[in-house]
Chains A and B, each alone.
Chain A
Amino acid sequence: MADLIIQILNGLNFVLVLIMVAMGLMIIFGLMNVINMAHGEFFLLGAYTVVVTNQIGLGFWPALVLAPLAVGLIGMFIEYVCIRHLYQRPLDTILATWGVSLAIKQLIIIFFGPAGLTVSPPLPWMISVAGINYPAYRLFIMTVALIIIAFTFYIFLRTDFGLGARAVIANRDMAATLGIDTRRMYRTTFTFGAALAGLAGAVMAPIMSCDPQMGLGFFIPAFLSILVGGTGTLYGVLAGGAIVGGGDSLFSYHYSPVIAQVVIFSLAIVLIRIRPQGLLGARNNE
């Protein structure tokens, strides 16, 4: 029983961080029709920000602020140098961002080597939850993720900026003729999406082994979450993240990670066959 509760909490942990990553990916896709293949590497860069602050003796906490800032800026730079030239060419952006992804991974290998690195865990004690001892730091991750998810929802559903962004998602041309600078909107959202992934990478770094491939472990399920949940609405990401992340954790625990992958992929394929627009997705009106 205790074991099960721990597994559920671990699963929840994964789901919440996954939603953080997937939200960024979804917002970028929804606004710009760009499938950002380098999104996992934004996660990676966030994690390695923690590696760096650890190596230079600053410890974990400064990275919590530095990671989203640094990764956001890197995202802004990539948008400026590469992606903005490729809007209206979705296939090319897949190739281009894939190239960016490879380049970032290789740069990490050049600077840090291919081996997994660990960082000393902050908050290295246990907290009693429902009579079970659970790592305090994992609870901290969940809190951060919940706050960030709520914050993102607030930005997109309650602020003027969010209204403009949703208008661009729904009808780009009409939004532009109403005076919305869609180019600026793209840059801002790409930066925001990158920062989200960077922060997710940073909070996960202490409980993962940091290696150049770690981004993939979040990019693929994030991508599946969007396919399953549907694009165009943030609620879809919640549903998709819960199904993909939750299913993955559940099957990994009961059977094995390999079975979990097979089940999740099969489920995704079947669902996309039945409902191409995803569970909560609206049909694209373009």
Chain B
Amino acid sequence: MLNITDLHASYGGSLILQGIDLAVKQGEITAIMGRNGMGKTTLMKTIVGLLPAMSGSIQLDGQMITHLKPHRIAERGVGFVPQGREIFGDFTVFENLKLATLRFPRQKRQIPSALFAYFPILEERKNQRAGSFSGGEQQMLAMARALVTHPKLLLLDEPSEGIQPSIVQEIARILRDINQKTGITIVIVEQNVDMILDLADTCAFLEKGRIVDTCPVDTLRKDESLITRYMAV
């Protein structure tokens, strides 16, 4: 579904991605794990077009998206929840969600009501300033915002960062629920091992700008040695 081949990209002058190969299967939840500074965020930003790929290719459903502008990649059905959430704090919840629909013609700019079934709190607080939300609520808003336009691929960068454990479980439950009900493919960058064991189908380990290992999460549940090898500081 998402096929990345020999992807190189640099950030801030140094080569961060040094030949990423990754194949994400349709409908699966794939986790990308690795220590800090291994290139996880750079990989996400390169997929959505915010950072240019120096070489290699990114294909979405067989179509090249490697050198497209970010808004074109969004149009192809990629939703992105960035690290730190990056919600628009001065805007209301409704305005944050509305932003994702602006690329459509005026009459098609509705926010699907099914979305609020997953995030009831957002409907209650539709007109509240998003900046007044707690971290967990902002994370839900960022997820909802990425889902407004029914993307086929959802990318999340460290959704559990700075969020209390009970909300992390809630977020994992919602993601699992959406994945099962809509069949959306999810790629999630995460350092929270419990969340990944709970949520993902496949896990890929990123080290020094390369994917060094890939395995089903079931394998990890039985044998955590890979996690120790690639995650321990």
Contacts and interface: CB of A to CB of B under 8 A. Distances in A.
Q: Do A and B come from one complex?
A: yes
Interface of B: 48-50, 69-71, 73-75, 80, 82, 86, 88, 90-91, 95, 98-100, 102-103, 106, 109, 145, 149
Prevailing SS type, chain B contact patch: loop
A182 B82 CA distance: 18
Interface residues of A, number: 19
Contacts of A170: 88, 90-91
A148 to B, nearest CB: 24
A176 B102 CA distance: 11
25 contacts: A160-B98, A160-B102, A160-B106, A160-B109, A163-B91, A163-B98, A164-B99, A170-B90, A173-B50, A173-B70, A173-B86, A174-B88, A176-B49, A176-B70, A177-B49, A177-B80, A177-B82, A178-B100, A178-B102, A179-B71, A179-B102, A180-B103, A181-B71, A182-B71, A282-B90
A16 to B, nearest CB: 27
A176 B88 contact: no
Nearest to B75: A179
A167 interface: yes
A156 B6 CA distance: 43
A9 to B, nearest CB: 36
Q: Chain A binding site: helix, strand, loop or mixed by DSSP?
A: helix
Given A163-B95, A173-B70, A174-B82, A180 B102 contact: yes
A178 B145 contact: yes
Interface of A: 160, 163-164, 166-167, 170-171, 173-183, 282
B91 A167 contact: yes
Contact of A180 (B48, B71, B95, B106): B71
A152 B226 CA distance: 58
The 7 closest A-B pairs by CB, nearest first: A179-B74, A176-B70, A179-B103, A174-B86, A177-B80, A178-B100, A181-B71
A111 B129 CA distance: 53
Contacts of A177: 48-50, 70-71, 73-74, 80, 82
A180 B98 CA distance: 12
Contacts of B95: 163
A173 B86 CA distance: 10
A178 B109 CA distance: 13
Contacts of B103: 179-181
B148 to A, nearest CB: 9
